[in-house]
Structure 1
Amino acid sequence: MGEKRWSERFEGAMGQLAARSHRRPVQALVVAVVLTLLGAYFARNLTLSADFVGLLPKAFPSVQDIEKLRKRFGGQGNVVVVGMGAEPEALKRFADDMAPKLAMLSEIRYVNFQRPRAFFDEHSLYYVDLEDLKTIQGRIDARITWEKEQANPLFVRLDESAPPSVDFSDIEQKYTGRANQRLSGQGDLYYLDPAEGMVVLMAKPRGSAADLSYSKKVVTQVEDFLAQQDLSKYGPGFKTAVTGTFKKKIDQQRVIVGDLARASTLAMVLLLVYLAFHFRSALSVGFTMLPVVAGLGWTYGFVGLAYGQVNLLTGFLAAVLGGLGVEHGIHLLGRYGTLRSEGMNSEAAVHESFRHTGFSALIAALVAALTFLSLAMSEFRAFREFGIIAAVGMLVSIFSYLLILPALLGLASRFGWSPRVHQSSSGPMALLGRWLPRSYRGVAVGVGVAVVALISQSYRISFNYDSRTLEDYKQASAVLDQKVNDILGYSQTPVVVLTDSREMEREVVRQLEARKTARGKDSTIDFVGALEDLVPRQQTEKKAVLEAIHAKLGKLDPERLPEDTRAVLTRALNMSKAQPFTQEDLPTSVRHQFESLDGSTGGVVLVYAGGGVSLSDGEGTRRFSKEVRGLQMPDGSQVSAAGEALILADILDMVSREGPRILAAAVLSVLGAMWLTLGRLRTALICMVPTLLSVAGLVGLMALLDLQFNYLNIMVLPVLVGTTVDAGVHLVQRLGEPGADFISVYAETGRAITGGLLTSAIGFVALVLAKHPGLNSIGDLANLGFGLNLIIVLLGFPALLLLVERWRRKHGAASDEPAQEA
């Protein structure tokens, strides 16, 4: 009883505060305007960040590793210039002309436009182990001896044995896939695709792609440079395009910002259209929207103070919070209109509306806020910030209605305005309210069977780890970037292992090569490269063997050899002339890839993904991250690879691990909040029934529709728990009032519930039209959940309450509180 008295006192306080604002509207509105101006001031410099790295806590090893990488090695990826629409010779001339000019731009460190094949072909025998090199020498010696014997007319061979083989494919196979081979590449010397008519130049910027302003600066510099060039000399159809990591970051940001603007605008338009239909009054629409707009201003003022920027999810909260906030206005203004039509004066109607309906709205907002705060448990910053900002927004929306709506109604009533009242005795809700008491058994069974059937399919649901389905890969720069990767033969963005010594470099390469060999076809590593590994050991010993091979081959007359043997031995003759080399002798284009920002080399190991794994494929990235992490050094230290791909792997692991815990926390926090505010555990459980059935049924519906969870849309489940529970609260609270008539209560409350759920869904409807597939998936899932909840709360839940009430009557139970005691 003590808890009940506490809730009654809180109801009374809300009614009194609303009445005070009604009596002193000017003062209340002045306070609201000041708060709104402050919110706008603090929100004025908000920016949108779509950087993956910023979505994890800074304490995460993968985040710390990538920050070290950026400070020492610079950003990953390139600004890629593509020339296309010309003959191969013209494309090569373009590359030759543009490469040195691009390299002179202030933000470009170097330009790579040719494969270093000549150097690696010439020195390829130095990459063969000494024992294998001696094996090659032995085979060549045996063949030379055999050829000399064949050329000697006095020599008689007693058998018809085959000549000694000079096939070295078995030895070559041992070294296939090494960094020197992969970096030298196949095909043309230039990064050229004759079939596509494309040539590629890769410009390495000085800064990081994570800095959006820098990305815009360097891409603009390159695009302006290309615009100033006379490209007509390369052919009439010749043109250029820019792609690469830096360009894709800008395009992705532009898509998200465009989606943000469209979603917010569309949500606002849809809200206004619905409210106009719902109230049939322009002033009622204004009275509902002004507190929402003010509340959003206050909320984003808090965001500006607390975070200074929004991320992929929090950027769209305005549309979502707008829809959720309008729901309170629909209930409050609808109840106010009903009370005025019953003869109450304006102040009394405001007092009564906020005392009962306002308290129910507060419960709903508090419950939603606690649900959103369950997301704040996540280490995933996108979820944590979404949860905190949404929780603040829900509570702020109630305060804005408490401050502004009574003041607006107070001013309007002084000029003789009264709301247009929807007749509860007519309309579809009234018809449904009269039909349900006659057909509640069939409805309860039908809805129950349907929900159970949906829940039975929940086991089929799966988690989609492929981030490619969540990004806009239809962008021209993304499509072109994939073609560039095909031309290169490997990814432009390897992950990086930073080391402190040459010995550590070699040890990292050794361990990664061993892991690749151990996993065989299941390995996710394509190849591993390090400067120290690109300079082979025992070059002096190898040089002696090569000199011996060269001396013997030089005594042969190639014209007297069979054609197949001649080609092999001629190639061996040319390769055996190569001299030992150091890091300084490596091609500049190769050394540049291992340079730190200060120009020093060494300490960098590049690891390229392979085995059919794309670093945008979440499941493949998770396997890749396990293969390249946790390298134990002889001194006891441990090193790991760093890169955005590993950030993605951490995010996927975190979300899949935290999802069930967050959902459980959301349900328990909602139950606790409702128990505290409603005063009875039984009442709280009853109010949660529609929400729990909706969420469980949604999972099964997703399986039937072949929809999957992903690391963005999984947050919809706890959000639905918090945003749909208020429908049950409003219905149970009103039906529990003494003397409540089911038909009239259902008609009035059902109409408000429908409007509330529709407006809540509107914010998510806007996401359905976004170009970003990840945001689409959030919109799809949320709207399916709202639709399912609408059916359950308008049909199944009332039918269940009626069924329980009739059962209680039949068994002689008291029936004066059918809903609250059900």
Structure 2
Amino acid sequence: MGVDWLIDRIDAAVVSRPKSVILVFLLLTGVFLTGIGSISTESGQQQFIEDLPSFQAVEDINQEFGTTFPTETTSTTIVQESSNVLAKPALLDMLKTRERILASSSLRATSVSTPATTVATTLDPSATTPAAQYRAVERATPAEIATAVREAADEPGFTNGLSDDFNGASASASASRGTVTHRAGPGAGAGGGPGGGSEFPPDRVERIDALVQDDASNVWVQGTPPDTTGTTTAVVLPAALVLIVLFLVIAYRDPVDIGIGLLAIVMTLIWTFGFIGLAGIPFAVLLIAVPPILIAIGIDFGIHSINRYREERVRGRSIDDAMSLTTGQVTVAFAIVTGTSTVGFLSNVASAFPPTRDFGLVAAVGIVFTFLIFGTFVPAVKVFVDRARQRYPIPTVATTPLGSESSPLGRILSTGVIVAKRGPVVFLLLAALLTAGGGVYATGVDTGFSPDDFQPAEETPAYLQVLPESIRPPERFEYVRIDNFVDRNFGESGRVLMYVEGRLTRDTALEQMHRASQSPPGTFRATGRLAERQSVVTLIQSRAERDPEFRALVERNDRNGNGVPDDNLPAVYDALSESPNSEIDRFIASDRRSAQVIYTVDGEADDEVVTDDAYRIATAFRVSAQPTGSPVIFDEAISLVLESVIVSLVLTLVGSSAFLIIAYWTIEGQPSLGVINVVPILVTVVAVVASMRALDIAFNAINGTILAIAVGIGIDYAVHVVHRFADEYRERSLYPALTRTVVGTGGALTGSMLTTVFGIGVLALALNPALGVFGVLISLSVLYAYLSSVFLLPSLLVLWERYATETDTVVPTIDTAADVMTGRRSPSEDD
């Protein structure tokens, strides 16, 4: 009763007061338009991992041990390539570049660390200024430089700055890298993103490039990762619009109806983007997928609404009667689709990743907006326009629906009904076997989380270079080129940071820290039985080696003689902090209640193994110890990707199934139709995951939402078929009802599928590779949902009538092949 009342109210508003409906929706569009100017952007991988405990530990470490100065700092990477970066000309080139960087006030550089500096100070320990270090190398002979290089090779920090082909015997390497540290400007924090400290000083890459000497080597400057969100949006949306207009022309074949559809699309986007701004949700890379999704679903709603209206008009009904019948039918289907899609998208709110949660919320709200605009506004505009056509000479190009029984498309769509007549059981068994096999194959799909997921390819496609200059991406992303060069030429010795919290003034605190580093696991680099590390313990030991007075203090408070004090620790800390150039604040907080230990690990080892080993060491601490660092953060992110995929899929399937069963029970009195509605979605999900494995696509933080989206969008197709069948079945027998369903609704579904597949498929043009894959996966999920709904559902509905109703429908099975070969008719064809 409640549903009928709501539909009657919508019918009355659309048919009786279309001008009022149009005015209300236009006023609401103006309200949402005000929110677009408040949209902020967010990019990079940090947005996905900022809630992880290991990332929070990094934040705590940076806050407590990152700098002793009150100002924030940012950094720039410089890379040098030469036949030998350790030869005298290349060293002088880098040292002169370093001197110029430090002398440039606009760069606000506080330090420039490079292997060339280490060679210079090894040659002359008293050389403390850039000019003195340059002179030390300039006056040295090649033999003296080679000796200094071999001596410096004992320091891990020196070799880490050299390429993998470093040869100590010949004192040669083909590349080196260093870091420029800048003081951020007023109000510029250290965080990434537009306007943050990571982009201060402005144009620093160009400024440093202007200072680089290029006589004996190449020195490259790597700034911040490129933010491709704006460019991708500017490329994707116009391309989607062009394709959508093309398919709207095919589907509607009438310029006025095309204009109505485009107006509704624009309104949907304004409402959704306005909501993003008003709600203060940052526009991250994942939200780029929302507009194509909403456009696709909106086009689907529009095509169904206009197509169904045209079916009734062709039968001779008046404008009011045709629209009343149309809204009475499609509004229910739209409401079911909206409910199930909203459940699917909202399941992402359970994700561990903030951008995924934002995506789920925005997509769900956008689906509701789509339902309101295409379910109420579009019919009202259509009624208003067609009444105007009766009064004024407005040309009408096409009034027929898309697809009829005699058309080529209608004959293709009827294939599913023919199969349902002749052999539904055999067909469904074959589909079940293929789905089961696909499910087993799909279990081998991988998961991943990498910084590479968030950056574009090194070179942009040539077709993007024809775009207007304002949105044209560079031919080559220099940051990515340098990053790829570093990956190829520098072996990574990774780092694991241990964030330790506890009362570190207790006598046993440093002993426990020392013992935790004994006999480290395999992925942790070690010298003897001790892990390679930097901590307050190693700082104490290093200072004791150089300072006899401090060494005596340590020995007086070292009860077991192992060089680690275990008594009167506050006095040891105070003495250490009073020494010149003390680095104690890098490793232990001023309140002596937290510390960090930096471990060196095998950079080539699997992140999962490194993480397991890191937690093994953490358990050896008697105080709270949280491992962190890139290997730990990325491994935890990978595990959360799979967890989020499973949780969102289960929530989506359970929630959508429950919604469908209740909806069909309430509307049709047939809850079993809700179960039938879910079967094509299960087939779609399996096909999507199996395709991911076949295409070597791993689940990651961006495409981890794909299964929930496949359910949310895919149910759209199945709902239209099942709901239309239920309406037709009230007045017709089984097979005529199936034929009218798949030809009438199938024609609209075909137009919707083509629009969606190509409209969302344009995400493949995205500069962000993960987003491009995301678009491909959504297109595949829509294609699979369409095929299963049009060709699988008729056979399922035949079995539904046989076993879920009181009819005695004859269901042909194994004798179908013989019937076809001998030309006999199946009993079911008599209907």
For the criterion TM > 0.5, the same-fold answer is: yes
The one-letter amino acid paired with 1:203 is V
Instruction: Tell me whether 1:794 sits opposite 2:777 in the alignment.
Output: no
Kept after mapping to 2: 8 A contact 1:698/1:784: yes
Superposition deviation, residue 389 in structure 1: 0.8
Q: 2-side partners of 1:469 and 1:458: how far apart?
A: 29
Q: 2-side partners of 1:10 and 1:481: how far apart?
A: 58
User: 1:52/1:768 Cα in 2 relative to 1: closer, same or farther (>3 Å)?
Assistant: same
- For residues 521-670 of structure 1, the aligned pairs below 5 Å read 527-530=532-535, 532-536=537-541, 539=544, 594=586, 603-610=595-602, 612-613=604-605, 619=608, 622-623=611-612, 626=615, 629=618, 632-633=621-622, 637-643=623-629, 645-670=631-656
Q: 1-side partners of 2:446 and 2:154: how far apart?
A: 39
Q: 2-side partners of 1:814 and 1:15: how far apart?
A: 40
Listed one character per residue, the Cα deviations across residues 134-164 of structure 1 (whole Å, up to 9, x for unaligned) are: xxxxxxxxxxxxxxxxxxxxxxxxxxxxxxx
Instruction: Tell me whether 1:222 sits opposite 2:212 in the alignment.
Output: no
Tell me the SS of whatever aligns to 1:80. strand
Which residue number in structure 2 is paired with residue 53 of structure 1?
46
Kept after mapping to 2: 8 A contact 1:454/1:700: no
Superposition deviation, residue 334 in structure 1: 0.8
Which residue number in structure 2 is paired with residue 90 of structure 1?
89
Kept after mapping to 2: 8 A contact 1:50/1:311: yes
2:347 is matched with which residue: 374, 383, 406?
A: 374
Instruction: Tell me whether 1:459 sits opposite 2:406 in the alignment.
Output: no
Which residue number in structure 1 is paired with residue 269 of structure 2?
296
Kept after mapping to 1: 8 A contact 2:344/2:656: yes
Kept after mapping to 2: 8 A contact 1:57/1:63: yes
Kept after mapping to 2: 8 A contact 1:491/1:608: yes
- For residues 726-741 of structure 1, the aligned pairs below 5 Å read 726-737=716-727, 738-740=730-732, 741=736
- For residues 365-764 of structure 1, the aligned pairs below 5 Å read 365-416=338-389, 420-422=399-401, 424-440=404-420, 441-442=422-423, 445-446=426-427, 448-460=429-441, 461-467=444-450, 470-472=453-455, 474-475=457-458, 476-481=478-483, 483-484=485-486, 490=492, 495=497, 497=499, 510=514, 513-514=517-518, 516-517=520-521, 527-530=532-535, 532-536=537-541, 539=544, 594=586, 603-610=595-602, 612-613=604-605, 619=608, 622-623=611-612, 626=615, 629=618, 632-633=621-622, 637-643=623-629, 645-679=631-665, 680-737=670-727, 738-740=730-732, 741=736, 742-764=738-760
Superposition deviation, residue 452 in structure 1: 2.0
Superposition deviation, residue 638 in structure 1: 0.9
Instruction: Answer 1 or 2: higher relative contact order, Cα 8 Å, separation at least 6.
Output: 1
Instruction: Tell me whether 1:205 sits opposite 2:179 in the alignment.
Output: no
Kept after mapping to 2: 8 A contact 1:808/1:814: no
Superposition deviation, residue 410 in structure 1: 3.1
Which residue number in structure 2 is paired with residue 39 of structure 1?
32
Superposition deviation, residue 630 in structure 1: 5.8
What runs of 5+ residues in structure 1 fail to find an aligned partner? 124-177, 547-580
Tell me the SS of whatever aligns to 1:109. strand
Q: 2-side partners of 1:261 and 1:38: how far apart?
A: 24
Tell me the SS of whatever aligns to 1:462. coil
Superposition deviation, residue 367 in structure 1: 1.1
Which residue number in structure 1 is paired with residue 159 of structure 2?
185
Superposition deviation, residue 698 in structure 1: 3.2
Q: 2-side partners of 1:684 and 1:36: how far apart?
A: 35
Kept after mapping to 2: 8 A contact 1:80/1:242: yes
Q: 1-side partners of 2:118 and 2:584: how far apart?
A: 12
Q: 1-side partners of 2:282 and 2:601: how far apart?
A: 33
- For residues 100-139 of structure 1, the aligned pairs below 5 Å read 100-104=99-103, 105=105, 107-114=108-115, 116=118
Kept after mapping to 1: 8 A contact 2:164/2:490: no
- For residues 246-285 of structure 1, the aligned pairs below 5 Å read 247-249=223-225, 251=226, 253-254=227-228, 256-285=229-258
The one-letter amino acid paired with 1:470 is D
Which residue number in structure 2 is paired with residue 169 of structure 1?
none
Kept after mapping to 1: 8 A contact 2:535/2:597: yes
The one-letter amino acid paired with 2:709 is V
Superposition deviation, residue 33 in structure 1: 2.8
Kept after mapping to 1: 8 A contact 2:163/2:491: no
Listed one character per residue, the Cα deviations across residues 657-710 of structure 1 (whole Å, up to 9, x for unaligned) are: 233232111112112222232223212111222112221343344445544433
Which residue number in structure 2 is paired with residue 69 of structure 1?
61
Kept after mapping to 1: 8 A contact 2:533/2:600: yes
The one-letter amino acid paired with 2:78 is V
The one-letter amino acid paired with 1:183 is G
Superposition deviation, residue 518 in structure 1: 6.8
The one-letter amino acid paired with 1:36 is T
Whose radius of gyration is greater, 1 or 2? 1
User: 1:522/1:779 Cα in 2 relative to 1: closer, same or farther (>3 Å)?
Assistant: farther
User: 1:107/1:241 Cα in 2 relative to 1: closer, same or farther (>3 Å)?
Assistant: same
Listed one character per residue, the Cα deviations across residues 34-77 of structure 1 (whole Å, up to 9, x for unaligned) are: 3223223212232331243333575x533432333343416898
- For residues 219-368 of structure 1, the aligned pairs below 5 Å read 220-229=202-211, 231=213, 234=215, 239-243=218-222, 247-249=223-225, 251=226, 253-254=227-228, 256-368=229-341
Superposition deviation, residue 372 in structure 1: 0.9
Listed one character per residue, the Cα deviations across residues 479-528 of structure 1 (whole Å, up to 9, x for unaligned) are: 423544777754587646467868899568635533625767899x9842
Q: Provide TM-score, normalisation by structure 1.
A: 0.74
Give me the CA root mean square deviation.
Answer: 4.4
Superposition deviation, residue 736 in structure 1: 2.0
Q: 1-side partners of 2:768 and 2:751: how far apart?
A: 28
Q: 2-side partners of 1:179 and 1:532: how far apart?
A: 23
The one-letter amino acid paired with 1:464 is T
The one-letter amino acid paired with 2:260 is F
Which residue number in structure 1 is paired with residue 21 of structure 2?
28
Kept after mapping to 2: 8 A contact 1:368/1:722: yes
Quote the sequence identity (%).
18
The one-letter amino acid paired with 1:663 is L
Kept after mapping to 2: 8 A contact 1:690/1:728: yes
Which residue number in structure 2 is paired with residue 147 of structure 1?
none
User: 1:287/1:624 Cα in 2 relative to 1: closer, same or farther (>3 Å)?
Assistant: farther
The one-letter amino acid paired with 2:113 is N
Q: 2-side partners of 1:230 and 1:711: how far apart?
A: 39
Kept after mapping to 2: 8 A contact 1:433/1:746: yes
Q: Number of matched residues?
A: 699
Superposition deviation, residue 328 in structure 1: 0.7
Q: 2-side partners of 1:76 and 1:783: how far apart?
A: 44
The one-letter amino acid paired with 2:731 is G
The one-letter amino acid paired with 2:535 is A
Superposition deviation, residue 211 in structure 1: 4.0
User: 1:434/1:674 Cα in 2 relative to 1: closer, same or farther (>3 Å)?
Assistant: closer
Which residue number in structure 2 is paired with residue 8 of structure 1?
4
Kept after mapping to 2: 8 A contact 1:377/1:384: yes
User: 1:185/1:327 Cα in 2 relative to 1: closer, same or farther (>3 Å)?
Assistant: same
Superposition deviation, residue 307 in structure 1: 3.0
User: 1:225/1:282 Cα in 2 relative to 1: closer, same or farther (>3 Å)?
Assistant: same
User: 1:526/1:795 Cα in 2 relative to 1: closer, same or farther (>3 Å)?
Assistant: farther
Kept after mapping to 2: 8 A contact 1:378/1:662: yes
Superposition deviation, residue 272 in structure 1: 1.3
Which residue number in structure 2 is paired with residue 155 of structure 1?
none
Which deviates further from its counterpart, 803-812 or 319-328?
803-812
Listed one character per residue, the Cα deviations across residues 320-348 of structure 1 (whole Å, up to 9, x for unaligned) are: 22112211111111111112222222233
Q: 1-side partners of 2:331 and 2:661: how far apart?
A: 18
Q: Provide TM-score, normalisation by structure 2.
A: 0.73
